[in-house]
Amino acid sequence: MIKLIVGLGNPGQQYEKTRHNAGFLFLDELVSDSGCDWVNESRFDGLLAVIRVSGNKVMLLKPTTFMNRSGQSVGKVARYYRLVPEEILVIHDELDFDAGVVKLKKNGGHAGHNGLRDIIAHLGSKEFYRLRVGIGRPSAGKVVADFVLSNPSKNELNSILSAFDLARSYMGQMIAGDMSVVMNKLNSG
């Protein structure tokens, strides 16, 4: 069962709609759908919300540290609530997928994603779930950091929002722990 969903992103208005903030954007939609509000929890270096999905209560976390220090916030929440990595779902941008592709996995390395690298370091484990939201890759010769910290085109954003809709349709199953069923459906496309 998933007890904590973490969205990765960078705080601040200048990063709000960037590709790198896909995790924040996804959680903002969940909070909006539920009608609840974010609460600033300085002891956790993050914004927290608690929602119910299909009768199950789940915490949502947006670290207010910058992306590269996301694990600091995730680690504090995990220790305080005595969560094991398998109870955590991290939602993040994925360069290796086209915009609009969304896949679920458990375990694995960080693939150069500094937010994941820091979470792995602070949890001391790779055994958490990841919902990977495709943002595409920059064209040849473009700097990856500039690409992820820029806003997607209108078409790319629409594709990403469609991926959010698809992922939200499986949220109840993910929170209930039916991960293999969701993986089969999301990852086969």
Distance between CA atoms of residues 47 and 83, nearest Å: 18
Environment class of 127 (CB within 10 Å of its CB; exposed 0-12, middle 13-18, buried 19+): middle
Q: Which amino acid is at 33?
A: D
Return the CA Rg of the chain: 15
| For helices 70-80 and 114-123, angle between their N-to-C axes, nearest 10 degrees | 30
Instruction: Tell me which residues are annotated as active site.
Output: 20
Q: How would you list the strands of the sheet with 56-63, edge to edge? A: 39-41, 46-53, 56-63, 4-7, 88-94, 129-134, 102-106
Least Cα distance to 91 among 176, 26, 156 occurs for 26
Distance (Å) of CA 152 to CA 100, 139, 147, 148, 157: 11, 13, 9, 9, 6
